[in-house]
């Protein structure tokens, strides 16, 4: 997608966990064992994951039930602190691989396999923020999701 893109460092593995911990603690929140477990589980998924998927997987790995409501609260915290993004149309979440970088993402979601990727285009999201302000809204937060077929499924 053409547009004004900005560079940011994509983290993975232990580097991603460290960046997430740093971002969360810098925001005044604690990095607890449960929050780390939820983040690590979310990071394992290459497609958007629901709170129920995460709770089920954590329940199995921990050998005791993890309540989806607890996972939802943690995921909401992660969205507020830029550690995760919510895919609104799927009621699911994706880990943010660049938690120190704040911007609005445009998500591309495959209708067949569910894969979701994001594109950064500050020109598009900035125009939407301005349109919201012009209409009298404050704290405008663009939520943009495009659905279609990824290259693999289209082939």
Q: Are residues 120 and 82 in the same domain?
A: no
Task: For residue 118, count other CB atoms closer than 10 A to its CB.
Answer: 19
Say which DSSP state 99 is in.
Answer: T
Q: Which domain holds residue 87?
A: 13-95
What is the rounded CA–CA span in Å between residue 102 and residue 40?
21
Q: Are residues 84 and 120 in the same domain?
A: no
Tell whether 23 is covered by a domain. yes
Q: Are residues 78 and 33 in the same domain?
A: yes
Tell whether 2 is covered by a domain. no
Tell whether 61 is covered by a domain. yes
CATH of residue 111's domain is 3.30.1490.190
Count of structural domains within the chain: 2
What is the rounded CA–CA span in Å between residue 66 and residue 37?
11
Q: Are residues 19 and 89 in the same domain?
A: yes
Tell whether 134 is covered by a domain. yes
Each residue's pLDDT tens digit in the chain (155 positions)? Answer: 334 444 555 666 788 999 999 999 999 999 999 999 999 999 999 899 999 999 999 999 999 999 999 999 999 999 999 899 999 888 999 998 878 666 677 899 999 998 888 888 888 988 999 999 999 998 887 888 999 999 999 99
């Amino acid at each position: 997608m053409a547009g004004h893109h900005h560079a940011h460092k994509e983290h993975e593995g232990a580097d991603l966990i460290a960046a997430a911990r740093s971002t969360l603690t810098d925001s005044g929140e604690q990095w607890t064992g449960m929050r780390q477990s939820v983040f690590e589980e979310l990071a394992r998924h290459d497609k958007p994951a629901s709170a129920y998927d995460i709770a089920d997987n954590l329940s199995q790995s921990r050998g005791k039930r993890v309540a989806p409501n607890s996972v939802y609260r943690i995921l909401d915290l992660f969205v507020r602190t830029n550690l995760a993004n919510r895919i609104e149309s799927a009621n699911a979440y994706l880990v943010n691989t660049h938690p120190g970088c704040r911007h609005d993402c445009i998500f591309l979601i495959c209708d067949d396999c569910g894969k979701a990727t994001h594109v950064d285009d500050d020109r598009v999201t900035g125009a939407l923020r301005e349109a919201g302000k012009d209409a009298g809204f404050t704290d405008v937060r663009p939520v943009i999701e495009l659905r279609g077929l990824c290259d693999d499924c289209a082939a």
